[in-house]
Amino acid sequence: MKSVLTCAALLALMTAPSMAADYTSFTLTTVANASPEKTWAKIGGFCAIHDWMGTTCETTGNEVGSIRKLNNGAVTEMMVAKTPFSYTYIQPLNPSNLYHGTLAVEPDGAGHSKITYTFLYDAETLGDADAKAKARQGRTDRFNGALAKMKSMAEMP
């Protein structure tokens, strides 16, 4: 009986309609005239997004599994990975586009840091090619502004 159920489950998976996906990723960077330690101390808290994006932020912590709520609770993000100078998050309440973001700081020569923001998401849900391009450009513009603010914050005495 167990093998019949297993076969039935496999058959159901094989005959289920496949979902189209248009996975998209891109990376934005800037260089700050500050050490990685100083840069991360100023921009790297899970709710530091409040300072460099000007959004509201509430968080349950600064470790993997922490939840942050942005824009007065309109957006929920969960930290899924962390290193001393990076974190990655997902928007668990928005599974339709599998949105992930990573903020990272790396050394870039003596006394300098490269600040990197990487995005990964399924653009399939965003509409036609024009809508996808417009959404990507909007995200690029917003986060280039955020990177400029992070650079400024890192370079403050």
Distance CA 29, CA 86 (A): 14
Determine the 3-state secondary structure of 9 from DSSP. Answer: helix
Query: Which amino acid is present at 72?
Result: N
pLDDT for 6 equals 37
Query: Residue 66 and residue 28: Cα distance in Å, rounded?
Result: 24
> pLDDT value at position 93?
87
Contact 156, 43 (CB under 8 A): no
Looking at residue 81, its pLDDT comes to 98
Assigned CATH class of 31-155: alpha beta
Q: What is the rounded CA–CA span in Å between residue 47 and residue 71?
A: 12
Q: Determine the pLDDT at residue 151.
A: 98
> What pTM does this model have?
0.84
Predicted confidence at residue 45, as pLDDT, reads 96
Alpha carbon of 11 to those of 7, 17, 20, 102: distances in Å?
6, 12, 20, 37
Two tokens, residue 99: 């949105």
Cβ–Cβ < 8 Å for 117, 101: yes
The answer to whether residues 102 and 118 touch, using CB atoms and an 8 Å cutoff, is: yes
Handedness of CA 24, 30, 31, 37 (dihedral sign): negative
Say what the pLDDT of residue 78 is. Answer: 97
Q: Which helix (H) or strand (E) holds 88?
A: strand 86-90
The residue ranges of the chain whose pLDDT is under 50 are 1-18
In the chain, where the domains are located = 31-155
Neighbour-count burial for 44-53, b at 16+ CB within 10 Å, e otherwise: bbbbbbebbb
What was the pLDDT predicted at 2?
Answer: 43
CA dihedral (59, 100, 25, 133) in degrees, to 10, reads: -70
